[in-house]
A and B are shown apart, each in its own frame.
Chain A
Amino acid sequence: ALIRVPLRKVPTIRSQLRSEGLLQDFLVENRPDMFSRRYAQCFPAGTPSLRLG
């Protein structure tokens, strides 16, 4: 009744994307809100929206 499930530790998706230079593309695709905030800091209120997509 005690079940042992072995777990393997492997590099994260983030590490793999970083090593292949794909991390930024992934974040733009999956966290547009994060990048929107960054753009919002770069462009003051009143400038046209640069929301992704």
Chain B
Amino acid sequence: RSSEKIYNFMDAQYYGDIALGTPEQNFSVVFDTGSSDLWVPSAYCVTEACALPKRFKAFKSTSFLHDGRQFGINYGSGHLLGVMGRDYLMVAGMMVKRQEFRESVYEPGTAFLKARFDGVLGLGYPALAEILGNPVFDNMLAQNLLDKPIFSFYLSRKLNGSPEGELLLGGTDERLYDLPINWLPVTAKAYWQIKIDSVVVQGVNPFCPHGCQAIVDTGTSLITGPTDDILDIQQLIGATPTNFGEFIVDCARLSNFPQHQHFVLGGKEYTLTSDQYIRKEMLGDRKLCFSGFQAVDMISSEGPLWILGDVFLTQYYSIFDRGQDRVGFAIA
């Protein structure tokens, strides 16, 4: 699971700022509903992967509390090691006291040198946390910092849009979505897991005919699902595999893509047009068009999991309600 999680951050694209310690040390983090821990690189990290300008210097924080416990995450060919600590956390001017977090002291590989973010702030349920202690949002609730036990995401599809994205802690902003909100109960309190009624591609419904489980994940950019289903979808939209497990389509055909994909959630249809489920990327002066669907086999006790990532969440404002354990969607 940890392996998949770290791998998935290679597709994360929305970051925000936090600060840790006294005086404050600033970090950019992915606000990730697909995990529940807060971690940043440590000043003690000596590997090449940690040659980042921003590393947490515990010795410079007067409010830092050393925890002493270690953590390790196996992934790929390497192993990420870290230690746990506790300090003040500032998020958009709000101070969370005694926040547990992880400092990574050994990171294999160099992938994170490419990242524009320094760490990850998980917004999942405590059951998903790999360290003891409250996740950030739980601490916010325990310290009565918010009016409502809710947070919500607005993610714009445009680069340099205004705003490019916004996380609201404690409520929603009705200017960013159209009513009504369709609420779906959380089916397992670890990820933000919900039930998909069905997935319809090209008017046919061979996927999840009897419903399946999905997690709503702001830490990944794509929509993922079981390999067999995703390969069928790629075939239906005419996407061709690359060597890297991605699927590419001919950009010139985009205007001829009549297909719509529908996710039926809580009896309501959520439509993605071809322009919305195809990701465009420039490689030099060439434009590449990738399918927004990716095969990732994640198994839960309730069966295979789909992931609704940014491809979906840029179209639909998402609301995460810890008070009533439900996820709401509205047209962004």
A14 to chain B: which residues have CB within 8 Å?
10-11
Among B55-63, B156-164, B264-272, the stretch that binds chain A is B156-164
Please judge, given known A-B contacts A5-B31, A9-B14, whether A27 and B91 are in contact too, CB under 8 Å.
no
In the bound complex, residues from chain A placing their C-beta under 8 Å from that of B221 are: 12
Measured in the bound complex, the distance between the Cα atoms of B91 and A6 in whole Å is 10
Check A5–B170 contact: CB distance below 8 A.
no
Contact indicator A10/B244 (Cβ below 8 Å): no
The total of Cβ contacts below 8 Å across the A-B interface reads: 128
Binds A, one of B108-116, B189-197, B232-240, B324-332: B108-116
Interface positions of B from 279 to 315, Cβ below 8 Å from A: 281, 283-284
In the complex, 13 of the A-B residue pairs with CB atoms within 8 angstroms, ordered by the A residue number, are: A1-B145, A3-B168, A4-B173, A5-B17, A7-B155, A10-B116, A12-B11, A13-B112, A17-B111, A18-B283, A22-B114, A24-B243, A32-B77
Report Cα–Cα, A8/B163, bound state, in Å.
Answer: 8
Could you tell me if A29 and B77 are in contact, using CB atoms closer than 8 angstroms?
yes
Residue pair A7, B245 in contact (C-beta under 8 Å):
no
Contacting pair A10 B15 (CB below 8 A): yes
Residue A49, interface by CB 8 Å: no
Q: Which residue of B lies closest to A20 (CB)?
A: B114
Check A41 for interface membership: any CB of B closer than 8 A: no
Assess whether A9 is in contact with B164, with CB atoms less than 8 Å apart.
yes
Complex interface: chain A residues within 8 A of B207 (CB): none
Within 8 A of B (CB), among A1-53: 1-20, 22-24, 26-27, 29-32, 34, 52-53
Set A2, A7, A20, A24: member contacting B170, Cβ < 8 A = A2
Provide the bound-state CA to CA distance between A27 and B10, in Å.
10
**Out of B28, B94, B283, which one reaches A3, CB within 8 Å?**
B94
A30 touches B76 (CB 8 A): yes
Sorted nearest first, the 10 A-B pairs with minimum C-beta distance are: A7-B165, A1-B147, A30-B76, A3-B169, A13-B10, A5-B167, A9-B164, A7-B14, A10-B116, A16-B114
CA distance A2 to B173 in the complex (A): 9
Q: B38 to nearest A CB, angstroms? A: 14
Are A2 and B147 in touch, CB under 8 angstroms? yes
Q: Which B1-59 residues have a C-beta within 8 angstroms of A? A: 6-7, 9-17, 28, 31
Would you call B254 an interface residue if the criterion is a C-beta within 8 Å of the partner chain's C-beta atoms? no
Contact size range, B: 35 or more
Shortest distance in angstroms between B183's beta carbon and chain A's nearest beta carbon?
20
Q: Are B92 and A5 in contact (CB under 8 A)?
A: yes
Using Cβ atoms and an 8 Å threshold, which residues of chain A touch B177?
none
Is B155 within 8 A of A1, CB to CB? no
A1-B147, A1-B170, A30-B109 are contacts. A7–B93 as well, Cβ < 8 Å?
Answer: no
Which chain B residues numbered 89 to 127 have a C-beta less than 8 Å away from chain A? 91-94, 109, 111-112, 114-116
Contact check, A34 vs B245: say whether CB atoms are below 8 A apart: yes
Whether A3 pairs with B93 at a CB distance below 8 angstroms is: yes
Contact of A52 with B115 in the complex, beta carbons under 8 Å: no
Chain A hits for B9, CB < 8 A: 13
Closest Cβ of chain A: how far from B198's Cβ, in Å?
29
| Chain A residue at smallest Cβ distance from B158 | A9
Residues B169 and A2 in contact, CB atoms below 8 Å apart: yes
